[in-house]
Structure 1
Amino acid sequence: MYSKELLKGTISAMVLKLLSEQERMYGYEISMRVKELSDGKILLKDGSLYPALQKMTSDGLLSFKEETVGGRVRKYYYITQSGLKEKTAHVNELQDFMKTMSKIVFPELSLKSYGALSH
């Protein structure tokens, strides 16, 4: 599992990327998908995920719709057009950051493959 400090700046990129690939998701579903895709190395805690979802919603990057499922209200999140643009910017910035960090931390390795990551 990665540290909270390391993950803090990447939550919105992960959420926007997931929601750009799937029509809608609720919070727990997002956290489980991240856990699955990261082979259990990234665990989004409620105290990190839900404030991020709230901020992205207030920033106009996400919208939501509440539905009752099994007697419980579930909040489904959707990515907006602004969110799609922001997702591209986040992914590009993260890709560039990873390349830059690799030059500092692993100067002996060439990580040109980061340039081939899909958005």
Structure 2
Amino acid sequence: MYSKELTKGTLLPIILKLISENDKMYGYEITQKVKEMTKGKIDISEGAMYPILHKLEADGILETEKVYIGKRVRKYYRITPSGKLAITEITAELNDFITTLHLIFNSEKIKL
């Protein structure tokens, strides 16, 4: 499993990417999907995820839908139309950052 320090800056793009690809998702579903896709290397805690979801909702990037399942309420998150542009920008920034890291960590050392 990767350290929380290493994954912290990537949680927002990961969450947005998953929701955008699945129409709508609820919190626990997001955590389980990430764990499954990364074979347990990235484990998003509820304490890390929900503040991000609430901020995205407050910023108008996500909207919510409450679904009642028996006595429980499940809160689904969906990308808003204006949120689609934000996802494009955030994804582009992350991909550029990954490319930059690749330059640093995979460069040939200059021999003097």
Relative to the length of structure 2, the TM-score reads 0.91
Q: Which residue matches 2:63?
A: 63
CA displacement 1:43-73 (0-9 Å, x = unmatched): 0001100010000000111000111113211
Aligned mates of 2:64, 2:10 — CA distance in 1: 21
Write out aligned runs for 1:42-57 (5 A). Answer: 42-57=42-57
Identify unmatched segments of 5+ residues in structure 2: none
Corresponding pairs, count: 108
Amino acid at match of 2:73: V
Query: Does the alignment pair 1:7 with 2:7?
Result: yes
Unaligned runs of 5+ in 1: 109-119
Structure with higher Rg: it is: 2
CA root-mean-square deviation: 1.0
Q: When the two structures are superposed, what TM-score results if normalisation uses the length of structure 1?
A: 0.86
**In percent, how many aligned pairs have the same letter?**
49
1:92 and 2:92 equivalent?
A: yes
Q: Secondary structure at the match of 2:68?
A: strand
In the alignment, which residue of structure 1 is the partner of 2:79? 79
